[in-house]
Amino acid sequence: MDNSPTVMEDIMVTNTSNIRRRYRDLLRRSLGPGTAPTAKATQRFASQISAAHISMIDLAIMHEQLLQKEMPTDVSSRQRRSMTTEAGIVFSSLFGAAQSDALAPEFPPKVHELLSTLSRRSIDLSDDNDQLSKRIEALQKAEALLMHSEQAGRKVRIEAERLQEQLRLLSRQLMNAQEEERRSISRELHDVIGQILAGINIRLATLKHEAQLNSAGLDRHIAQTQRLVHKSVGIVHRFARKLRPPALDDLGLLPALQAHIRVLTRRHKIQVTVAVCSDAEQLSMEQRTALFRVAQEALCNVIRHARASTIDVQVVRLEGSIHMVIQDDGRSFDVQRIQNAPRSKHLGLLGMRERVEMLNGTFEIEAQPGIGTTIRVTIPMNKRVGTAKEASV
């Protein structure tokens, strides 16, 4: 056998070429969908690397060159990182097996066994990495489904908002119809029935005068009837005012509030101050009605529950909107608890809020222990600025 340097170099080149070709095939299998090499095949290839006298530095250079050449160009950065990791596992397996084979005579069997175990674990890690890649792919599919679900959810929310707007419009029309019906009934009670009762009272007075000469008993009965009629007239007027305060239609928001407050202060020991800017009188009838009804309900709640001694009602214009603030010094309450209670427990608050929101306004409640409760209402408008009229009742 010729052992000249030239022949030996040719053999080494041939061996290196074979090793390079096999390592390229191994990398292609690790980068592609092929089956990973077994531990026995890896050990056999590592022995060939050791026999070819290829150093680990040369093997690392070979690995880097082949990896750059074999790495697909049409993959994402995430896939590129995953493939690089797979190739690194292959190199680590060969490195460990080659080192074990090269140093086998010098290391005891226990160390050799540990290195073999390390090599097998590297291959197992490659399998685990494949499983992880599959899980990542499944998660990506789930993410795509979730995005589709979110888009469907947005469509549902948009449709719900549209239906809610329709419901708000219908509620607004219903409240307007209720107010118009109240106005009609109030006028009917006040103008027609009130006039009839007044006419009856006048007629009874005439009969009383004519009957004075004939029967004292008849005079007494007529007087009793007159008192009943007079009482009925008062009841009709009071009922009409509750249905729809005439002052709101005829005089405006401030006179209507003042008239309502006078009735309250006569019945209850409480001081109420009210101030209304002139711009509030330029609001539409629907807007003024909403402010009056909110104030009416708020005052009623304060008298029923708060045990307050003073109430302040302010209606002012700020930045193109009308703001109404109602403050009392009575007992406060847990706003969150009341709002989360069943609807039947806070219909008054709910009605106030819905009235305001139907006019594109805002409704807020603040309650602080020892300070009292504040209700803030804002309704947008586009009118010139006016002055405030104030009254203490």
Looking at this protein, which amino acid is placed at residue 376?
Answer: R
What pLDDT band is residue 354 in, cutting at 50, 70 and 90? confident
Antiparallel, parallel or unpaired: β 321-328 and 362-368: unpaired
Instruction: Please work out, in degrees rounded to the nearest 5, the angle formed at the alpha carbon of residue 30 by the alpha carbons of 28 and 18.
Output: 50
pLDDT for residue 276: 93
Contacts of 199 (CB under 8 A, 6+ apart): none
Q: Is 351 in contact with 289 (CB distance < 8 Å)? A: no
Q: Is 68 in contact with 24 (CB distance < 8 Å)? A: no
Q: Which of 81-85, 108-112, 170-174, 177-181 has the lowest mean pLDDT?
A: 108-112
pLDDT for residue 7: 40
pLDDT for residue 325: 97
Complete domains list, the chain, with CATH: 5-147 (no CATH), 248-392 (3.30.565.10)
Measured in Å, how far apart are the chain's first and last C-alpha atoms?
Answer: 128
* In the predicted structure, residue 166 carries a pLDDT above the cut 70: no
- Look at 214 and 272; give whichever has higher pLDDT: 272
Mean pLDDT, rounded, for 380-391: 53
DSSP letters, 219-273, are HHHHHHHHHHHHHHHHHHHHHHHHH--HHHHHT-HHHHHHHHHHHHHHHS--EEE
| 31 burial type by CB count under 10 A (0-12 exposed, 13-18 middle, 19+ buried) | buried
- Look at 149 and 339; give whichever has higher pLDDT: 149
Give Rg (Cα) of the chain: 47
Residues 149, 154, 157, 161, Cα dihedral to 10°: -160
Q: Give SS3 for 315.
A: strand
What pLDDT band is residue 153 in, cutting at 50, 70 and 90? confident
DSSP class of residue 382 equals -
DSSP letters, 3-64, are --HHHHHHHHHHHHHHHHHHHHHHHHHHHSSSPPPPHHHHHHHHHHHHHTT--HHHHHHHHH
- Measured distance CA(178)–CA(188) in Å, rounded: 15
Match 């020892």 to its residue by tokens. 370
pLDDT for residue 100: 57
* In the predicted structure, residue 298 carries a pLDDT above the cut 60: yes
Mean pLDDT, rounded, for 379-385: 66
Query: What is the reported pTM?
Result: 0.46
Mean pLDDT, rounded, for 276-287: 91
pLDDT tens by residue, 177-193: 667 766 766 666 666 66
For CA atoms 266, 267, 271, 272, give the dihedral sign. negative
- H or E segment to which residue 309 belongs: none
Contacts of 82 (CB under 8 A, 6+ apart): 129, 133
Instruction: Please work out, in degrees rounded to the nearest 5, the angle formed at the alpha carbon of residue 264 by the alpha carbons of 261 and 269.
Output: 115
Longest Cα pair distance anywhere in the chain, in angstroms? 168
- Count helices and strands (H / E) in the chain: 12, 6
Q: Is 211 in contact with 219 (CB distance < 8 Å)? A: yes
- Measured distance CA(339)–CA(328) in Å, rounded: 19
Q: Is 53 in contact with 102 (CB distance < 8 Å)? A: no
- Look at 222 and 252; give whichever has higher pLDDT: 252
- Measured distance CA(3)–CA(137) in Å, rounded: 56
- Measured distance CA(331)–CA(369) in Å, rounded: 7
Mean pLDDT, rounded, for 313-336: 89
- Look at 41 and 3; give whichever has higher pLDDT: 41
Count of Cβ atoms closer than 10 Å to residue 43 Cβ: 21
Q: Which of 154-168, 306-320, 324-338 has the lowest mean pLDDT?
A: 154-168
* In the predicted structure, residue 137 carries a pLDDT above the cut 80: yes
Q: Which of 262-266, 269-273, 367-371 has the lowest mean pLDDT?
A: 367-371
User: What is the average pLDDT value for the chain, to the nearest integer?
Assistant: 75
